[in-house]
Amino acid sequence: MQQAFLPLNKMTSTEKIVVMNQIWDDLMRNPDDIPSPEWYNEVLSARAKRVQNGEAHFKDFDTVKSELRSEFK
């Protein structure tokens, strides 16, 4: 596999974000190729159990994103 090196110290923040988005889009073409670490599954299971017990609830991503944008304006 060939390694590509980006001149990060010469890139603007906007350029870096564009590159990150391109990388993310590429990774999402084959999400099953990205292994989840075991601790991640443990955290998800614990959170699901809290929801089942009525101790917490899930929010959809758009709601959370909107709340965070309002909080950090």
pLDDT for residue 1 is more than 80: no
The DSSP code for 36 is P
Both structure tokens of 67: 């709340």
Q: Report how far apart the first and last C-alpha atoms of the chain are (Å, whole number).
A: 42
Q: Which tens digit of pLDDT belongs to each residue from 26-65? A: 999 999 999 999 999 999 999 999 999 999 998 999 999 9
In this prediction, residue 2 carries a pLDDT of: 77
Looking at the whole model, is its pTM more than 0.75?
no
